[in-house]
Structure 1
Amino acid sequence: MSSSHPALDQLPIRRLTPEDVLACADLCEDRGWQREEHKWGLLLTAGTGYGIDDPSGKGLVTVCVVTSYGPGLAAIGMVLVSSRYARQGVGRRLMRHVIAEAGDTPLTLYATAFGQPLYEELGFADVGRAEMLNGHFTLTEPAPALPVRPATAEDLPAVLRLDNEIFGVDRTAMITRLPAFADQLRVAEQDGEITGFAALWPNMDTHVIGPLIARDAATAQALVASLAASSDRRLRTDVDTRHTALTTWLKANGLEQIAETTVMIRSLPDLPGDWRRRFAPLTVAAG
């Protein structure tokens, strides 16, 4: 079938920079997504963006972002193709380029039902699911009365140690950006030991809770309740569907499932770390 777009397979793939935030946001808007400029700023600073420019000068043809956590894992997110170039193979071409660039590094991503067949074709396997929950938090069902407080600079080494243990790879470069990126960063503490942490960050007209790392469901609930009390916006979080105690509690407090994504991985049998204490990602775009 002929195309009005010249030589799509010859258009150069380039690295994106923080100066591409608005073009990436425009591409989101083109596909009916929210612009999410704040999140794009983080991803293009902490990660590596890849894109193809539209030869007609109308922004970007396709983009994605890879957030590297060293040789043990990298996360792919924000895979988008302009509506003008949909179903012409440019997204597949960009993904193949990213996979080649990653070499032996295992890759993970959160797939929509629309994208999952392509990722399966490219060697990704289904290892779990996440519920996207959104709504005004009511605290109809109280959280356990566990000590939660704002994080301080002195907490950072302990937070990084806990995150490394639970996430399974080192994401220092991302976690150290949380105090500036998030509106709130809080820790749960018991007997002088940090047992969990969570951030609340602005995304358009909502506040996103993530990452959510906690010793158990009760600690996760206490962190969520503390963060929610500081916000008058709708809340969103993406919870591993195996954490039924947390999702049931969130739904009892006004949040509803608005989508479900499939967690996928390539070159490993499963994600590293301890899923039992990993309740929600920072964002599905970065794991």
Structure 2
Amino acid sequence: MLLSDIDFAYACILQEGWDGENKSALQGMFEFGPEGCFLLEERGVRVGVCVAVKYAHSGFIGDLIVLNEFRGKGYGTQLFQHSVNYMESQGITNLYLDAALAAVPIYEREGFRTVDRSLRFIGTVPGKPHAHVRPFQPTDLRQIITMDRKYFGDDRSFFLTRNGTFYPEYCFVFEKNDAIGGFIMGHPGIGVLTVGPWVVWDETVDPWQLLESLVHYYGDKPLRIGALEKHQNTVARLRNSTSFRERVPCLRMVLGSTENVGSHPALISIGSGAKG
């Protein structure tokens, strides 16, 4: 994929009605690893895209989309196999993805197996300031990156830094006695604010304080939150809230690993389906 193909990739996302990522998010994935952003053409006509995000030890495959008029011809499988082959050529054998239910058989044929359900919620909460929650500052990044690497299980520093640089107004930390106990980041989607990464490692902290503080400053526009089903506390609170509705879930699938990167209880939400 070339930078000039970003508009096409974004059009593919709009076709699917996926509202979690805007065009800037696609540009971020291209900046992170253009060699992992793939475009499939048939006789000079662009028919689909796929993005492979390579971290230090693991990788995520996402945004696999074929235009409606070209479906049923094996193009999606070609894109997917090319992405997997690319990852393996880079020495990445632990691969993850969030699968739309209709696409699960494709991934299973390639050896992927389901390890969890990846849930999606949309709604809001009443905004409320909290004494120990403050706006993110650039000097927080070093500790945030260190703790995120510990609990996520790989290095998301590029995306954390980019989120903090482009959208600092949607980033907050919990700090008490000069120690950071967690953080939340948001970024604009399409008509929503996508929440995540959202990580809290201090077990005495109520993660909802970060979310309520974010809404207090951001406003009451819809929030989009993704969470693995094994994160029972998060899922229960979202399901029990009358202001959130649950969308059709995805399946978190994995190839080649006995672990599930991003499944630690400190991770309140996922960052995105395409990046973990």
Fold shared by both chains (TM-score > 0.5) = yes
Counterpart in 2 of 1:55?
A: 43
Residues 200 and 32 (structure 1 numbering): CA distance in 2 closer, same or farther, change over 3 Å? closer
1:192 to partner: Cα distance: 2.0
**1:211, 1:217 → 2: CA distance?**
19
Counterpart in 1 of 2:151?
A: 166
Counterpart in 1 of 2:97?
A: 109
Q: Please give the residue correspondences for 1:117-136 in structure 2 after superposition, counting only pairs within 5 Å.
A: 117-136=105-124
Q: Please give the residue correspondences for 1:161-240 in structure 2 after superposition, counting only pairs within 5 Å.
A: 161-182=146-167, 183-215=169-201, 216=203, 218-232=205-219, 233-240=221-228
Q: In structure 2, what residue type is equivalent to 1:278?
A: L
Residues 84 and 274 (structure 1 numbering): CA distance in 2 closer, same or farther, change over 3 Å? closer
2:245 to 256, 260, 270: 256
Higher deviation after alignment, 113-122 or 270-279? 270-279
Higher deviation after alignment, 275-284 or 39-48? 39-48
1:87 to 53, 72, 78: 72
Matched-pair contact (CA < 8 Å) for 2:96–2:255: yes
How many residue pairs get matched?
266
Counterpart in 2 of 1:13?
A: none
**2:73, 2:32 → 1: CA distance?**
30
Structure 1 gaps of 5+ residues are 1-15
Q: In structure 2, what residue type is equivalent to 1:66?
A: A
Matched-pair contact (CA < 8 Å) for 1:148–1:188: yes
**1:212, 1:27 → 2: CA distance?**
27
TM-score, structure 2 normalization? 0.88
Counterpart in 1 of 2:26?
A: 40
Matched-pair contact (CA < 8 Å) for 1:21–1:37: yes
Identity %: 22
Matched-pair contact (CA < 8 Å) for 1:137–1:253: no
SS of aligned partner of 1:129 = strand
Structure 1 residue 270 corresponds to structure 2 residue 259: yes
1:56 to partner: Cα distance: 5.4
Q: In structure 2, what residue type is equivalent to 1:214?
A: V
Counterpart in 2 of 1:9?
A: none
CA-based RMSD: 2.2
Larger Rg belongs to: 1
Counterpart in 1 of 2:59?
A: 74
**2:160, 2:25 → 1: CA distance?**
14
Residues 33 and 186 (structure 1 numbering): CA distance in 2 closer, same or farther, change over 3 Å? closer
**1:27, 1:273 → 2: CA distance?**
27
Q: In structure 1, what residue type is equivalent to 2:120?
A: M
Q: In structure 2, what residue type is equivalent to 1:228?
A: V
1:243 to partner: Cα distance: 2.4
TM-score, structure 1 normalization? 0.85
Show CA shifts across 1:15-68 (max 9, x none). x133222111222233444583232222222243111124354xx211111111
2:270 to 255, 272, 281: 281
